[in-house]
Amino acid sequence: MAADNNPWWAGAVVYQVYPRSYADGDGDGVGDLPGLIGRVPYLAALGVDAIWLTPFYPSPLNDGGYDVSDYMDVDPRLGTLGDFDRLIGVTRNHGIRVIVDLVPNHCSWDHPLFKKALAAAPGSHERELFLFRDGRGPDGAEPPNNWPSQFGGPAWTRVPDGQWYLHLFDASQPDWNWRDPRVAPMFEEILRFWLDRGIGGFRVDVAHGLFKDATLGDAADASLTNRPSAYYHRPEVYAVYRDWRLILDSYPADGFPGSRTAVGEVWADSAETIAPYLAPGGLPQVFNFELVKSRWSAPELRAAIDATHAFADGSRAPWVLGNHDVVRPVTRWGKDAARAAALLLLALPGSAYIYQGEELGLPEVEDIPAAARRDPTFRRTGGKVVGRDGCRVPMPWLAGGASFGFSRTDLGFTPAPPWLPQPPGWGAYSVAAQQGDPDSFLSLYRTALRLRRDHPVLGAGALRWLDGPEGVLAFVREPGFAFAANLASEPRPLPPHTEVLLASGPLVTDEAGALALPRDTAVWLAQ
């Protein structure tokens, strides 16, 4: 197949949907695919190019669906494969692609193959699909090595016959043994299953995991590091992605121009660690988490952006402000800063991901009662790590009413309460409350996305920094576009421009009567 030099994903704006929290189409208090289908016109009006669906597969939900018990089906609480196909059809009619989440590092302890492995004897063929080992110490009562679980506690759990199995995450998420020759073909079949249904690609969960040090010996540094270690960034993993790339590239465009993508969730310590994933023939894309990790500081953000450009531009490493795993930008940085950051995100070269609710300026919900919390990190750390439920609270669509329009109310019965409680006042953030207000978050995102579509230099391309006054982050996208944000406390002058296209907040005038940028405000300028 001919090389695709300008793939659709290089400049795409992708909207992340956490389906259980998006829209509930059957009144059971859990978001589902029919609910999402009903909101596709909203996404089309917002102006996104694609959606990324976090897992919707059958799952006992010990980790929000990242514990998959069947990779080739839809959880009955979320719908059916027929609903999925309908989603593909409806999104396609609106020119929107669908990226699905692939979870290759681990499955659920409810996966039939793990159940078979548990029922089989130590050393059996069945157990070889996972990482079972004898323990250490008297009676093997100590875990086989010192590796930690990302969610707290050891990465090993003991089974009744005395062996232990490895899980880098929750005990309900046993890691696959990628050194077993049956695992790679199984995942290739899964890839083809979804590609055949017409998806635009995959988001690859824990893409830096999969292979573990073959000896499963103690890690020199048994902390939760993103550095190459006994369990992350093992070089064997790159060959998996080369094989997947061949599969992706072998698929026809299927009604859309351009190739399918796979974007790896690769948490890494440096550009050097990320680079091999993006080597020719490897993953098309990996997430760029620099903006998530950065504080709201002009030099820090500039360094974060430059660090990425050292190995790839945003077309290979899409920009992200938040996702379902991190504290919402409004709470991390403040409301004004989050508005300015939205304009930064969408002005940077390449692709950008928006997590549902970012366009509404949803804050982190910090006071979810302990009994309502679902994130396994909360349980595994005895509540010391509060976990990620606060960014997963169901969407407010209406200013009032049961669950603020999250669940349908026209079904002839009162819908069940949402699976995670929404705080009082959530309706003030709703789509209905914001859509007629030109100063709302939603209007800012809609306008920015429209301008981005219309402005030829936005999306994939290059940037050139402008050296502005202290506290100002500014660059040009040539020809004709400039971005500036003021992170200092005093107002700062705007860079040269012919027109202010969009501002994240009100501008002020300086003593000479010229427009100036107040603190935590960003502008898009025509030059």
Instruction: Name the site residues for ligand NOJ (rule: CB under 6 A).
Output: 63-64, 66, 103, 169, 205-206, 265, 324-325
Considering the complex, state which of residue 168 and residue 517 has its C-beta at the smaller distance from ligand NOJ.
Answer: 168
Considering the complex, state which of residue 34 and residue 209 has its C-beta at the smaller distance from ligand NOJ.
Answer: 209
CB of 103 to ligand NOJ, least distance (A): 6
| 257 vs 234: CA distance, rounded Å | 34
Q: Residue 105, CB half-sphere, CA atoms under 13 Å: how many?
A: 29
Cβ neighbour number for residue 93 with a 10 Å cutoff: 10
| Tokens 């994939």 -> residue | 460
The one-letter code for the residue type at 514 is: A
| Tokens 């830096």 -> residue | 208
Question: Residues near 521 by Cβ (< 8 Å), separated by ≥ 6?
Answer: 336, 339, 340, 485, 486, 503, 504, 505, 506, 507
CB of 208 to ligand NOJ, least distance (A): 11
- In sequence order, what DSSP letters do the residues of 250-291 get, joined into one string? TS--TTSSS--EEEE----SSHHHHGGGGSTTS-SEE-B-HH
Considering the complex, state which of residue 168 and residue 474 has its C-beta at the smaller distance from ligand NOJ.
Answer: 168
Considering the complex, state which of residue 35 and residue 55 has its C-beta at the smaller distance from ligand NOJ.
Answer: 55
CB of 203 to ligand NOJ, least distance (A): 9
**Nearest partner of 457 among 507, 515, 501, judged by Cα:** 501
**Nearest partner of 11 among 491, 494, 373, 477, judged by Cα:** 477
Considering the complex, state which of residue 135 and residue 148 has its C-beta at the smaller distance from ligand NOJ.
Answer: 148
Total number of residues shown for the chain: 527
* Residue 107 to residues 58, 129, 147, 174, 176, Cα–Cα distance (Å): 11, 11, 19, 6, 7
Considering the complex, state which of residue 106 and residue 127 has its C-beta at the smaller distance from ligand NOJ.
Answer: 106
Give 381: exposed, middle or buried? Use CB within 10 Å, 0-12, 13-18, 19+.
Answer: middle
Q: Report, in angstroms and rounded to the nearest whole number, the Rg of the chain calculated over CA atoms.
A: 23
CB of 324 to ligand NOJ, least distance (A): 6
| 203 vs 14: CA distance, rounded Å | 11
Please list the active-site residues: 205, 265
CB of 66 to ligand NOJ, least distance (A): 3
CB of 102 to ligand NOJ, least distance (A): 11
Considering the complex, state which of residue 14 and residue 487 has its C-beta at the smaller distance from ligand NOJ.
Answer: 14
Question: Residues near 264 by Cβ (< 8 Å), separated by ≥ 6?
Answer: 204, 207, 208, 241, 277, 283, 285, 286, 287
Taking a C-beta distance cutoff of 8 angstroms, is the pair 218, 116 a contact?
no
CB of 503 to ligand NOJ, least distance (A): 33
Considering the complex, state which of residue 111 and residue 452 has its C-beta at the smaller distance from ligand NOJ.
Answer: 111
CB of 298 to ligand NOJ, least distance (A): 29
| 155 vs 170: CA distance, rounded Å | 8
Q: Tell me the residue number closest to ligand NOJ, measured at CB.
A: 66
Strand order in the sheet with 132-133: 132-133, 164-166, 156-158
Taking a C-beta distance cutoff of 8 angstroms, is the pair 67, 59 a contact?
yes
